[in-house]
């Protein structure tokens, strides 16, 4: 976010997300987009994760998406985290979304992220939660 602000001189917002799977000690974590290696597809990453978890029972397939969002306008920096808890499925399901969405099951919704309508996903997502916290902070500071 600092680089974007330095380059543009405009208020800037950035975020990054990782998937943490408890049975894998928090992996893939910060390496989520490169889990199966450099220059791989989302399908490659999902395939590797499912292969590593093939013998893990359902109750032990807990995971969470974590997003950290950052904002700066040159006079302040704000960072916030958003978390979405779920379970890793045994097989992909759903065609919306990207990345690990087809194998990230949300029990309260009885669906994977890839099975949810985009509007529903945007209401509950880890990214939405982090960004909402930034918006709330900017409102408290009367910036917006």
Rg for the chain (alpha carbons), in Å?
17
Contacts of 87 (CB under 8 A, 6+ apart): 58, 61, 62, 63, 104, 105, 107
The catalytically annotated residue of 16, 44, 73, 96 is 16
pTM given for the model: 0.91
Q: Which two tokens stand for residue 32?
A: 């989520």
- The predicted-structure confidence for 69-86, as pLDDT tens digits, reads as follows 999 999 999 999 999 999
Q: Provide the pLDDT for residue 69.
A: 98
For residues 93 and 2, give the distance between their C-alpha atoms in angstroms, rounded to a whole number.
Answer: 37
Task: Evaluate whether 62 touches 22 at the Cβ level (below 8 Å).
Answer: yes
Are 76 and 13 spatial neighbours (Cβ–Cβ below 8 Å)?
no
Active-site annotation holds for 16: yes
Q: Are 75 and 5 in contact (CB under 8 A)?
A: no
pLDDT tens-place string over residues 45-69: 999 999 999 999 999 999 999 999 9
Q: CB within 8 A of 116, min separation 6: which ones?
A: 94, 96, 97, 106, 109
Q: Convert the pLDDT of each residue in 7-40 to its tens digit.
A: 999 999 999 999 999 999 999 999 999 999 999 9
Tell me how far apart the alpha carbons of residues 95 and 121 are, in angstroms, rounded to a whole number.
Answer: 13
Q: What pLDDT, on a 0 to 100 scale, did the predictor assign at position 97?
A: 83
Q: To the nearest whole percent, how much of the chain has pLDDT over 90?
A: 95
Q: What is the pLDDT of residue 144?
A: 87
The single-letter DSSP state of residue 30 is T
Tell me: the pLDDT tens digits for 83-135? Answer: 999 999 999 999 988 899 999 999 999 999 999 999 999 999 999 999 999 99
């Amino acid at each position: 976010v600092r680089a974007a602000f330095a380059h543009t001189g405009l208020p800037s917002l950035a975020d990054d997300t990782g998937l943490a799977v408890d049975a894998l000690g928090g992996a893939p974590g910060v390496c989520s987009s490169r889990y199966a290696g450099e220059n791989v597809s989302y399908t490659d990453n999902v395939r590797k994760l499912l292969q590593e978890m093939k013998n893990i029972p359902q109750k032990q397939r807990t995971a969470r998406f974590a997003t950290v969002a950052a904002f700066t306008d040159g006079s302040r920096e704000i960072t916030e985290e958003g978390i979405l808890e779920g379970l890793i499925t045994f097989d992909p399901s759903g065609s919306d979304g990207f990345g690990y969405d087809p194998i990230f099951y949300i029990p309260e919704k009885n669906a994977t992220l890839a099975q949810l309508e985009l509007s529903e996903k945007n209401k509950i997502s880890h990214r939405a939660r982090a960004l909402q916290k930034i918006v709330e902070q900017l409102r408290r500071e009367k910036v917006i």
